[in-house]
Structure 1
Amino acid sequence: MGELTATGLKAKLATLGKSPLQAPVRIGDGSGLHLLVKANQTSGGAWVLRYSYGGKRRDMGLGTYPAVGLADARAAAEEARKLLRSNTDPLAARGAEKAAQARAAAEAEIKATTFREAALATVAAKRDGWSNPKHAAQWLATLEQHAFPQLGEMPIAAVDVPAVLRVLRPIWPKIPETASRLRQRIEAVLDLARVRGWRSGENPARWRGLLSEELPPSRRVKRVEHRPALSWQQMPAFWTALSNVDGMGAAALRFAILTAARTGEVRGMTWREVDMEASLWTVPSGRMKARRTHRVPLSAAAIEVLRAVQPERPRSDHLIFSGGDNVMLSDMTVSAVLRRMNEPAEGENPEGPPRWRDHEGRAIVPHGFRSTFRDWAGETREEGRDVIERALAHTVKDKVEAAYARSDLLEKRRPLMEAWGKWCLQPAGIAEVRSAELERSDGKRRKAA
């Protein structure tokens, strides 16, 4: 039995409260149990059991008074003494219990974390590294449509190879390119889950040596369909038609064609990026697909497009091709220009092929003009592959080659872009004669080779 009583303890605390304490006071109950009262806490205190273990003095907290009463403190102290009698350190036992509880909580969290939650966490982790803000929505849309119905509510730790294959097998032969992209995104989600401790073991969505044994390469399932592109020989005739189309979407498309740029880069460009005197457009790395600054030499034709939309006093931070109130044009606005140009005129067969189409009869799209430029440059110009690839802002895939090829070949690209602008703007009739001459000349070069 201890030395204190509940009433006696209250009386001692009342006495301590009558005058300020200069130092902490211990009210002992015997056998190492005492109430530690600090100078500013005379209405209560902390229960402490002082004991020795392994030759060292140790203090073990048992709770605060009055939340923990005298009887409860004695009971807790006796449990600790039982551990001491069995040669167990009570503080070490408490630490082990807390660690076990933490492990149990972590295991419960792992079991509770679903594939959907891990996917959202993956997007949040990668968002700042994506140049296009819409990429997050596209990333999730693919998972929402194809993966979440099967995996969404499944614990991330339970996702295995059969589960991944249940998602991929139905769509692999139908839409192989999308299916391959989906596999990569599932793999990324599972990688993040492993890093965060939500799962362990190998990634069941890994391709090499795993899913490659179950599925054929996507490129062999179906031929990759490239974006429909106009032949370069038709470019002057198309330009004549495009010149008769008004609106900011048409202006943005003209500029994208003349610079061989992606429409997203054009739609987001501001006056700050353009140096009219130097005929130069500098696209910051944050808006480039490859996350590298890209300098574009502007031809006389491209400069004219800019002058046509330039306000009297342009603000450096304002968009050049704005839909009004400095709002960026949508990608659909630019695409709609081509759709309207391909609408059948009165009296034409609405079921007939589109006026502006690729060699397979498909209606052309804005991104296809980069291919048009690539074909024109490759077949008619002498600048060479490196200069053309730099004009398209393509990265060098070989890491060793990329380490040495640091120049963007700006000055070599200037005559290339100037010639492209002249080709686009020359009258269609003259262009047909010129393209025939170029094709004959190209044929002679091939024979000579």
Structure 2
Amino acid sequence: MPKIATELSYLDIKNMDKCGTFAIGYVSGLSIRISSVGARKTYVFRYKFDNKESYIKIGNFHHIDIKTAIDDAYKYQDCLDKGLDPKILQKVNHARFRTDILSMEQSLHGQELYFSNRSNRNPQYQLDQVRSIASNADDDVVKAKNKESNSNTCKIITIEAAVYEYLDYLEAMQAFENNRRGYSERKGMVKNHIFNKIDPSTILSSIEATDFNNCISAIWSKHASLSSKLYNFIINFIDWATANNYYDDLMFKSHLKTLMAPYRKRKASSGHNPCLDFKQIPYFVKVLWENGSISAMCFIFSILTAARSQAVRMLTWKQLDLDNCLWHIPLENDKSKVKDRIRTIILSPQAVALAKHINKSFFADGADSDSFVFKQKTNKNCLSDNAFRSLILNLNKAQTGKGLEPFVDKNCLDEAGRPRVITQHGTARSTFKTWSKSDELGNLSKFNQEAVEICLLHSRNDPLRGAYDRSTLVMERNKVMSAWGKYCCSLIPEFKFV
């Protein structure tokens, strides 16, 4: 049985503007439902009968007062206490309503002469209005019966069991073939952003679009990419559940899209990743080198190769061909899952020297070909997603303690107008791209910009050009990466001989 919430007054409810269903107190289960369409507010009574959650619409907030809603909720609660489904009382009330309408028709039938000279009290007009109300009431009863019969035909399964069954289905269909962490990532997303709003033991068929809307809207304005992933996951999950007779709302996708409409208008932009000015890169690499931790070595390697976080963190020794100065990134570690595209990064002499230094300093017994190059100290797993962020925060703390400027992007400001802290992605990739086009250093005319894009593992934008142009620009890429490695490590004495 739901708990009785804090009692809300008429003004409290009137001033509510957030979409969803909210308990208003007074009676256990009495709630106000606010839709996104015209901010319509409806009193509902939510309850659980025979281990199945359901609700009854009491009336529109603007048509009935809160006292009437409370009285009706008490009657429905009384039904529950007697072991009866409150919908039985609702049907009886509808039947009584139709009986009252018939008696009203009979009473109005003989009064045509009395009202003949009073146009605003025309009996035929009153009869038409009464019949219209009765017809709408009958339609509501039919819809309620249809929904109840449909929900009874659905298989009983909790949302937790359904989600894990769906994930197993995706794994069986090889949906995670090119992303070995796909299963655990979606499992964590569901746990953190669905089960914190919806009880995992809730029967799936009783959950409505508004409930899932509350899950997505909670993160929509803060995490643009994550909210989109969650939205698509829920849509695909409900499609699968409907096909397996776990859910019966064929209009779910349309309903959720309507509920999300106001949030889409103010969706947060992912924006640019804060990066370091390329003039500060040599000093930053020197600071990382002096730090000496495995995460710092990983950061330097990502800068020297202009690589993405996932690819460099999940780098294994068998992916490296140090004799030929090559790094072959497997498809599952790449952002793009297109099979026929370049995934080989040319290593500069500095990157090769760094890899050999890591093998010598962090692998006393020799490195296994399947082991991660940058593995954690406590276990043999790769570095976590948060490794670079923690490293940057610690470096900035040390910089501030020495009276030096922290590593921030002065051209990328937060909501308070302060420079944002740099990121690995921005520093390793955006800084490399900016350096390669610098007029000040003369790099724009020195380097082939198409070769620079291939160094970043960017596909050719023109599909026809990509179909005919199979060149890999190995010599040009080698020229770019060698110059970049020499520039980055210019302040480290150990790399001057390279």
Which interval holds the TM-score relative to the shorter structure?
0.5 to 0.7
In terms of Rg, which structure is larger?
1
1:221-300 map, 5 Å: 221-291=267-337, 292=339, 294-300=343-349
My pick for the range that moved more, 171-180 or 269-278, is: 171-180
Answer whether contact 1:159 1:204 (CA < 8 A) is retained: no
1:330-349 map, 5 Å: 330-344=384-398
Answer whether contact 1:184 1:205 (CA < 8 A) is retained: no
Ranges of 4+ aligned residues in structure 1 off by more than 6 Å: 106-109
Answer whether contact 1:270 1:318 (CA < 8 A) is retained: yes
Structure 2 match to 1:375: 434
Structure 2 match to 1:422: 486
**Cα distance in structure 1, aligned partners of 2:203 and 2:460:** 40
Change (3 A) 1:241 1:169: closer
Answer whether contact 2:193 2:215 (CA < 8 A) is retained: yes
2:163 is aligned, of 119, 122, 126, to 119
Change (3 A) 1:313 1:348: closer
Change (3 A) 1:189 1:309: same
Cα deviation code 1:363-405 (max 9, x no counterpart): 2222222222222234444555543333223345766565556
Change (3 A) 1:229 1:123: farther
Deviation for aligned residue 1:268: 2.3
Corresponding letter in the other structure for 1:365: T
Structure 2 match to 1:365: 423
Corresponding letter in the other structure for 1:340: N
Deviation for aligned residue 1:171: 4.5
Answer whether contact 1:110 1:156 (CA < 8 A) is retained: no
Change (3 A) 1:405 1:185: farther
**Cα distance in structure 2, aligned partners of 1:339 and 1:205:** 42
Give the 3-state SS of the residue equivalent to 1:367 in structure 2. Answer: helix
Deviation for aligned residue 1:306: 1.1
1:390 has 2:454 as partner: yes
Deviation for aligned residue 1:261: 1.2
Structure 2 match to 1:138: 185
Structure 1 match to 2:235: 187
Corresponding letter in the other structure for 1:358: D
**Cα distance in structure 2, aligned partners of 1:206 and 1:399:** 34
Answer whether contact 2:156 2:246 (CA < 8 A) is retained: no
Corresponding letter in the other structure for 1:323: Q
Structure 2 match to 1:356: 407
**Cα distance in structure 1, aligned partners of 2:244 and 2:469:** 38
Change (3 A) 1:426 1:168: same
Task: Point out where structure 1 has 5 or more consecutive residues left out of the alignment.
Answer: 1-105, 429-449
Structure 1 match to 2:80: none
Counting aligned pairs with the same residue, the percent is 25
Deviation for aligned residue 1:116: 3.0
Answer whether contact 2:221 2:266 (CA < 8 A) is retained: no
Change (3 A) 1:396 1:367: same
**Cα distance in structure 2, aligned partners of 1:404 and 1:212:** 44
Answer whether contact 2:316 2:370 (CA < 8 A) is retained: yes
Change (3 A) 1:286 1:175: closer
**Cα distance in structure 1, aligned partners of 2:470 and 2:263:** 34
Structure 1 match to 2:356: 307
1:322 has 2:375 as partner: yes
Answer whether contact 2:317 2:370 (CA < 8 A) is retained: yes
Deviation for aligned residue 1:175: 4.7
Aligned residue pairs total: 318
Deviation for aligned residue 1:295: 0.6
Change (3 A) 1:140 1:341: same
Deviation for aligned residue 1:234: 1.6
Q: Give TM-score scaled by structure 1 length.
A: 0.60
